Amino acid sequence: MARNSHLTVEQLALVVRRKQKLRERMDEVEALLTGRGTPLSQLAPPAPAGRRALVQQLVQADALNGAIDALKDAGQFSHYRGSALDAVPPAPPGEHDALVASFFACAVPLAGATPWYAGAMDDIVALGRSVQRHRGRERLLLLEELYDGTDYLAEGVPRPDDFFSMMDDVYGALTEAPVSEIIPDHLRAWAAALDPELFSDEARTAQLFPVSPAELDAAVAAGAVDAEVAERNRAAVQAHWDELVDRAARMQPWEAEAQQAAAQEDALRHQRIRERLDAWRAGFTEAEELCENYRAFREELFEGPGCPADFADRVERAAETVLVQQGRSLLARKATADEAVHLLGRVRARLAGGGE
């Protein structure tokens, strides 16, 4: 293929966009064939008991897949090829089974009973992949939880593509306490080993900015800041506060009015978000159960065997096994699967021929 010496920035950007659209379409085709676009409400009744039943189906599907893999590893798969699924001998318990089970116990109600998801099986698979992305960066994850105090749900910018971000925020919304409060001291120390300065008394004091000297005194009185540390930082607090006061004094009337109007609009926006959150929280009856399952998941992840290399694959296989068992997967139909492979083969042949 000849080199394109007249390529423009716009053309290159279009290539990236076309690739994105291609990937989206391929994901849509895969979701259609596997049935992953199926709403969870069509797999189990959209109620707490139904979601618990779906969690159990996913856990059992994961165990079944593990048992089949064990048969293959032992060279015994051929003996059970035509057997019913319940005839497959169970595999010995795995060290990551509890992690996977607690993940499903969180992901199903998160995707199926909160307003931030489409509520499809594909959401479960995507959340599993997001857990996998954090594998190997557990310390950084803890540091983010300890030092990023932003309540993204309260700010109206949820992050549904990340399991930990959403579960941290949902946990905080349901318990009215940040997830950092359930991080034990030994994990705090373990995370601090990455950068001890982040856990210094001075760093904790810096988190209080912007505060007035009076607020610093109140923090000392409340025990939030050590008195000796406060004295070492008092000059910096005073200088920072004086700068804020001076900036406010030099502000033009129209600037003050614009700032006040923006603050009022922001307050109204936050009020509307709080009202929606309160309405959801009032109707959500699985709060205690979900929070307990998230604590169990975190214990397995941070203090147990951790996240396995095949975590996302296990979640995806379990989800697709349930879809096959419930008759939602087109891949279970040989003719449909063969046709899809044939059509994709024709597309590949045409592209290999230069698109003619």
Q: What pLDDT score does 2 carry? A: 54
Euclidean distance between CA atoms 45 and 34, whole angstroms: 21
The answer to whether residue 55 sits within a structural domain is: yes
Percentage of the residues of the chain whose pLDDT score is greater than 90: 43
Q: What pLDDT score does 243 carry? A: 83
3-state secondary structure of 39: strand
Does the structure show a pLDDT above 60 at 210? no
Sign of the Cα pseudo-torsion (152, 155, 161, 163, in order): positive
Contact (Cβ atoms closer than 8 angstroms) between residue 128 and residue 316: yes
User: CA torsion, points 285, 291, 292, 293, in degrees to nearest 10?
Assistant: 100
3-state secondary structure of 120: strand
Q: What pLDDT score does 193 carry? A: 73
The answer to whether residue 217 sits within a structural domain is: no
Does the structure show a pLDDT above 90 at 175? yes
Q: What pLDDT score does 205 carry? A: 54
Q: What pLDDT score does 304 carry? A: 94
Q: Per mean pLDDT, which range of 25-29, 132-136, 168-172, 301-305 is the poorest?
A: 25-29
Domain count, the chain: 1
Q: What pLDDT score does 56 carry? A: 98
The answer to whether residue 162 sits within a structural domain is: yes
Sign of the Cα pseudo-torsion (256, 261, 264, 265, in order): negative
The answer to whether residue 161 sits within a structural domain is: yes
Does the structure show a pLDDT above 90 at 314? yes
Q: What pLDDT score does 11 carry? A: 83
Which class for 205: exposed (0-12), middle (13-18), buried (19 or more C-beta within 10 A)? buried
**For residue 228, how far is the Cα from the chain centroid?**
40
Does the structure show a pLDDT above 80 at 77? yes
Domain span at residue 175 reads 36-195+286-328
Q: What pLDDT score does 32 carry? A: 84
The answer to whether residue 256 sits within a structural domain is: no
Euclidean distance between CA atoms 330 and 349, whole angstroms: 24
Read off the amino acid at residue 336: T
Q: What pLDDT score does 96 carry? A: 96
Does the structure show a pLDDT above 60 at 152? yes
Does the structure show a pLDDT above 70 at 128? yes
For residue 355, what pLDDT band results from cuts at 50, 70 and 90? low
Concatenate the DSSP letters of all residues of 228-297 into one string: HHHHHHHHHHHHHHHHHHHHHHT--HHHHHHHHHHHHHHHHHHHHHHHHHHHHHHH---HHHHHHHHHHH
**For residue 167, how far is the Cα from the chain centroid?**
7
Q: What pLDDT score does 231 carry? A: 83
Which tokens sit at 132? 């996998």
Q: What pLDDT score does 220 carry? A: 81
The residue-averaged pLDDT of 125-151 equals 90
Does the structure show a pLDDT above 70 at 199? no
Does the structure show a pLDDT above 80 at 262? no
Q: What pLDDT score does 198 carry? A: 55
The answer to whether residue 274 sits within a structural domain is: no
Q: What pLDDT score does 60 carry? A: 96
The answer to whether residue 335 sits within a structural domain is: no
Q: What pLDDT score does 325 carry? A: 95
Q: What pLDDT score does 202 carry? A: 55
For residue 44, what pLDDT band results from cuts at 50, 70 and 90? very high
The answer to whether residue 317 sits within a structural domain is: yes
